[in-house]
Structure 1
Amino acid sequence: MAMEKNFDAASAEAVISKKWETTGAFKAGANAREGAPSFCVMIPPPNVTGVLHMGHAFNNTLQDILVRWHRMRGHDTLWQPGQDHAGIATQMVVERQLAEQGIKRADIGREAFLEKIWEWKEQSGGTIVEQLKRLGASCDWDRNAFTMAGAPGDTRVGHENSANFHDAVLKVFVDMYNAGKIYKGKRLVNWDPKFETAISDLEVENIEVNGHMWHFKYPLADGATYTYVEKD
């Protein structure tokens, strides 16, 4: 077979990637020596709110270097892939899509809206996985997971359905509450009137606006009075 005059990365990478996949080069324990130490990395799961960006590429490249290095040393290596549901952020993306059609979440009801959410998850999650594979990320793709697997509306089959993370999180939350490690207290929270839920400080954008300082002079008992002196 004659060598190509110019290296075509696109075609070469596709062939190499396919060979990695068919030989199971990235499966947990691949190339591991007997009695070798274990090395496991849980991929920070990208949110299913869209597609990957340069930050994901940089972060996953560093992980891939470490994982491949340990695998080459014969360690029992696993790079666990997955995607995160992103909660409110994913809801916002889907609501925007519906708004473009003049539809509100309340118009279609909870069940139909959940179906839209799952449809978007399949689209976005599938894109993310293919992007990571295109980057050459050496994850064990047979173990790909989703943080909301097993939740109402999850009709998928296979590995993700067998790992019911949704119910597992609920159980741990209840167990921790019963153990007194989670409690309800009176705290100031950021309330989102549109999504009707509390949101973290990280989700809040503070904007300074000009306003007024109002002063109230309250009457006192027995006709007593006082003079308010404004201070800086």
Structure 2
Amino acid sequence: MTMFDIHLLPCLSDNYVPLVRDCATGTVAIVDPADAEAVAAELDRLGWHPSLILNTHHHFDHVGGNLELKARYGLTIVGPAREADRIPGIDRAVAGGDTVMLGAEAGHVFDVPGHTAGHIAYWFEGAKTVFVGDTLFAAGCGRLFEGTPAQMWSSLNKLADLPGDTLVYCAHEYTESNIRFARSVDPENAALHVREVSVHAARRLNEPTVPTTIAVELATNPFLRADVPDFVRAMHMSGADPITVFAATRKAKDNFR
């Protein structure tokens, strides 16, 4: 049985805003509303009335629509406790170990710092879905604006430990550029070659490459492979610990053109 009906709204230059409806109750949540006007127009088109905003972190392209949407719909804003003072209109501050109900579905909150200091993710086990903001991308991960490589490696491993069929909703369409980088550091990865073909085909049709799955990311995402011997050898870092390999991979991506 389908637990969620998820409509992925593209907005701004490359953001995705998941509009999530619990099929059992009709409860609707907005994840990281980047653009209030675009979100409201799409909700009106769908005939959905939201009661929740789920924020993953404080960056403006994730919270910019909060106040306007709260004024329009009278909804409740949930966001990370460690960034509560930077989440406009926040009503409930949550942290790792907390639970957020979206209709009949329970969302488990994970602390996933690295991109920002207080970043969180929401895992809905029953719906086999996780909303990860800018921590994990399709074939990539977020820049370390406020955290350390050790923090981000730990955060990514929390997500990597989820069941392989978990649907991963990240917040940006970065996949083609991420694949180009991944091929540069992991050129012998056969699964990555196959994924590159499918990603290019999707983007030629202007189709999203999100959601992905945990299984696909484990096989092809270089930032989840820092402890995989084949990848470590490809990075010419045999014997290095995973955090060091991850840090080198992230630095290479930061400088990749």
Q: Which protein shows a greater Rg?
A: 1
Bigger relative CO (Cα 8 Å, ≥ 6 apart):
1
TM-score above 0.5: no
Tell me the TM-score normalised to structure 1 length: 0.24
Q: Which has the higher helix share?
A: 1
Tell me the TM-score normalised to structure 2 length: 0.22
